[in-house]
Chain A
Amino acid sequence: MIRAEHISKSFAGREVLKDISAVFEPGKTNLIIGKSGSGKTVFLKCLVGLLDIDEGKIFYNDVQFDNLDFKAKKEIRKDMGMLFQGSALFDSMTVEENVRFPLDMFTDMSREEKSDRVNFCLERVNIVNSNHLSPAELSGGMKKRVAIARAIALKPRFLFCDEPNSGLDPKTSIVIDELIREITVELNMTTIVNTHDMNSVMENGEKIIFIEEGEKCWEGNKSEILKSDCRTLNEFVFANALAKQLKESSK
């Protein structure tokens, strides 16, 4: 479980996060939604410690993470996996080397054990016969899937996904969403997904937090989101023409 308490963050005097508190539960896909520039990515980077918070506390299973030193944070980070917006695969490595990298760095597994684990992770994300390709040779969806394989190589307890569907077609987006949901349940991970894709919200939103201009405006789940009377949330949810039509027809 991850608990964030009263998180605030500013850049050059501009307040990007304002007193956000949230609890993210294990075995669930927790979504952070909001417009572009609302502070979702900053919040996620604060949660994983890539950005220092100005105020508040972050707990990983009751261990206060934000005030730990580099060495202690490193221990918790071994339990984290992250899917970055642009996949962040290492250009100088092949697909196989990318997935094997955390195993090389943090385990004493034999070459065969590592190879088995790499192949298992790649098969789990439906990447086959691509071990020797470089990231530049992969499509956007394949890059995301390899990044997921790398993120789960060490069997993490916490998975973070920053805009996993950005730049993907609707069909591939669904595949990635399903994959994240399945892996979350399989490994009983606490998964936090940043997204503004409404299809993801309706598919995966077991717990949803809506952020608007750095403030948490609403919290609930996918069955509650359409009934909410939060004005800013409704503007976000029913922003596109199709959603508006559905809303009109349901009246």
Chain B
Amino acid sequence: MFRFLSGFGSYWMLLGRVFARPEKHSIYYRQTMKEFISLGLRSIGIVTIISFFMGAVLALQTAYNTENPIYPTYLIGLGTRDSIILEFSSTIVALILAGKVGSNIASEIGTMRITEQIDALELMGINSASYIILPKVVATVLFNPFLTLISIITGIMGGWIAGTAAGVITSQDYIYGIQYAFIPYYITYSLIKTVIFAFIITTVSAHQGYNVDGGSLEVGRASTKAVVYSSVTILLFNVILTQLLLS
């Protein structure tokens, strides 16, 4: 319990340093652009692949679980669309990014810590927490909503291709289904969750990396902890946000 409270306290203290006034905006801007590429653009591939197959499986499972003449087949499209928008593209993609981006952030910052690069920044009088972490937070919070939109589109496409290829639904019914009773707010809900999850992934992982003490073994441990802690926090906030935003 003491360790949890101490970790929680140091997380908030780190956030206080991260959001201090940047020393030189042009440098921070340059760093943020680098992070857009490293944490955002380089995640498009994995998000696209996973979302495509996720949509395909969702469509097939919906089809096999609604094999009843009283259910219209366009429900397959509708079910796939809503599952992807409400849960998969925000939460599941966030969990996947917690693995990819979170471990990357923790190991990068942890390595900087044990190789004294963070000390070098501090010695120069630079707020190392802000210089290293703030561009990552800005990049993921701004870019991850695009990843969610890409995930929604490719997921729905995956469902369409798998459904029609397996012969469980016609193309016409699927397209009718994904347009049927569409609630635009669901997209807003999904994007709000994405932004908050992006913040959680980046800050929780950065906190783990920044506080590494020791050698390469500790960097590995911090990386694992970053994934576990950010995943659990995402799942917790998923419940809270769903209640707050959909009730």
Contacts and interface: CB of A to CB of B under 8 A. Distances in A.
Contacts of B127: 70
A84 interface: yes
B116 to A, nearest CB: 4
A77 B128 CA distance: 14
B116 A105 contact: no
A157 to B, nearest CB: 14
Contacts of B116: 84-86, 88
Nearest to B121: A90
Contacts of B112: 91
B165 interface: no
A105 B23 contact: yes
Nearest to A89: B117
A89 B117 CA distance: 7
A86 B113 CA distance: 12
Interface string B103-124: 0000000011001110110111
A251 B116 CA distance: 45
Contacts of B117: 88-91
A102 B123 CA distance: 11
A141 B126 CA distance: 26
Given A104-B24, A104-B27, A105-B23, A78 B125 contact: yes
Interface in A77-120: 77-78, 80, 82, 84-86, 88-92, 102, 104-106
A89 B124 CA distance: 13
A212 B34 CA distance: 46
A74 interface: yes
A107 to B, nearest CB: 10
Interface in A43-67: 45, 48-50
Interface string B16-32: 00000001100100000
Q: How large is the interface on B (under 10, 10 to 19, 20 to 34, 35 or more residues)?
A: 10 to 19
B123 A80 contact: yes
Nearest to A45: B119
Contacts of B111: 91
Nearest to A84: B116
A84 B119 contact: yes
B125 A48 contact: no
**Residues of A contacting B: mostly:** mixed
A237 to B, nearest CB: 28
A144 B167 CA distance: 66
Given A85-B116, A86-B115, A73 B125 contact: yes
A50 B123 contact: yes
Contact of A105 (B24, B34, B123): B24
Contacts of B24: 104-105
A82 B115 contact: no
A122 to B, nearest CB: 18
A74 B115 CA distance: 22
A105 B119 contact: no
A87 B223 CA distance: 24
A84 B27 contact: no
A93 B117 CA distance: 12
A113 to B, nearest CB: 16
Given A49-B123, A91-B117, A102-B124, 9 more contacts: A50-B123, A70-B127, A77-B123, A77-B125, A84-B119, A91-B111, A92-B34, A105-B23, A105-B126
Interface of A: 45, 48-50, 70, 73-75, 77-78, 80, 82, 84-86, 88-92, 102, 104-106
20 contacts: A45-B119, A73-B125, A74-B125, A75-B125, A77-B123, A77-B124, A77-B125, A78-B124, A78-B125, A80-B124, A82-B123, A84-B116, A84-B119, A84-B120, A86-B116, A88-B115, A88-B119, A90-B120, A91-B112, A105-B124
